Amino acid sequence: MTERIKATPETWLFLGLGGVALLLAHQQLLPVSSQALVIVLAIAVVLTGLPHGALDPWVGRRAGLWRTRAGFVGFNLIYIAVALAVVAVWQLAPGASLALFLAISAWHFGGDWRKDLTLWGRAAAGSALLALPALAAPAEVSRLFTLLAGEQGGVLAGWLGAAAPWLAAAAAAAALLALRRSPVAVVELGAIAAFALLLPPLVFFLVYFCALHSPRHLRIAAQSVDSGQRRQMAGVALIYTGLTVVAAVVVWVWLAGNAAPAAALEDNLIRIVFIGLAALTLPHMIVIMLSERRGTMLP
């Protein structure tokens, strides 16, 4: 039982950072949306968010998706092609693309409790995580979604907010069923609900994605290999994170050349962060799915 109630490092990081954010929000020291906040979000995603997806080439090799130099080149070309296809489709059908991105993200985030919740419980938890901010801050989420997908994004935000109470109830039921088996998961899910309802949406996403989701993935990956492989993993993550940042900077410069107002900086950063994450999430999920099917998924 002791082992079951032992919190992981990322649990403490998430609770601590979320608590600090709540304190700052209570003191009105956190802006709901500003250039400074968006810049902090972008930096945090680069430092803690991107590295866990940057491990995909290493995960792909472990799963046997590539073994030779030619296979490595092919893996990267396919990965980039899928990411670019997501960006292209987003330009053609932004509303549908945003909806698909949210659905994939809900499924992916629910995987943080793979060992603790049932399949339906994970789906409910991941969906509630995304929906609760739309219930607590509908105007801000609508503005963000509209930036990403136009008028259809605003409609989608409304639907998400309307579904939030039902999704939260399902997630709460799943958490209660897991209480004896994994009380830490219940604490995390309770904290997620509180942070999602009380923090500005961008701050909540930063706290969850950068303090719980990505660190958990990185910790599990590091614990599954020896020290030599950890150094190799760190090198892969560093290289691919750097390449992703270079690509993002190129896009940012291109967007900045088409708009000069001060608000354009914030809006362009939001688009780069979230559409960029969408572009990387689909190939990331494909690698994870294939890894699971081959029995090489990280524990």
Whether 57 and 221 have beta carbons less than 8 Å apart is answered as: no
Closest CA to 200 of 59, 80, 21: 21
Closest CA to 121 of 167, 180, 190: 167
Distance between CA 290 and CA 281 in Å, rounded? 14
Distance between CA 222 and CA 294 in Å, rounded? 20
Distance between CA 58 and CA 122 in Å, rounded? 26
Closest CA to 208 of 1, 17, 6: 17
Whether 193 and 170 have beta carbons less than 8 Å apart is answered as: no
Mean pLDDT score across all residues of the chain: 84
pLDDT by residue (tens digit) across 154-179? Answer: 999 999 999 999 999 999 999 999 88
pLDDT at res. 260:
46
DSSP 296: -
pLDDT at res. 261:
52
Q: Which two tokens stand for residue 105?
A: 């993200």
Question: Is the Cα torsion angle 264, 270, 274, 280 positive or negative in sign?
Answer: positive
Identify the helix (H) or strand (E) that includes residue 218.
helix 214-223
The upper half-sphere exposure of residue 168, i.e. CA atoms within 13 Å in the direction of its Cβ, equals 20
Question: Per-residue confidence of the chain (299 residues) as pLDDT tens digits?
Answer: 444 457 789 999 999 999 999 988 877 766 555 667 777 777 788 777 777 777 788 788 888 888 898 988 999 899 989 989 998 999 999 999 999 999 999 999 999 998 899 999 999 999 999 999 999 999 999 999 999 999 999 999 999 999 999 999 999 999 999 888 889 999 999 999 999 999 999 899 999 998 999 888 888 877 766 666 667 777 777 787 777 777 777 776 665 555 545 556 778 788 888 888 888 888 888 888 888 787 655 54
Chain CA centroid to CA 106, Å: 9
Confidence (pTM): 0.85
DSSP-based three-state secondary structure for 24: helix
DSSP-based three-state secondary structure for 177: helix
As to burial, measured by CB atoms within 10 angstroms (0-12 exposed, 13-18 middle, 19+ buried), residue 182 is middle
CA angle at residue 257 from 251 to 260, to 5 degrees?
Answer: 120
Distance between CA 275 and CA 269 in Å, rounded? 10
Residue 295 φ/ψ, nearest 5 degrees = 70, 25
Whether 218 and 51 have beta carbons less than 8 Å apart is answered as: yes
pLDDT by residue (tens digit) across 214-228? Answer: 888 888 877 766 666
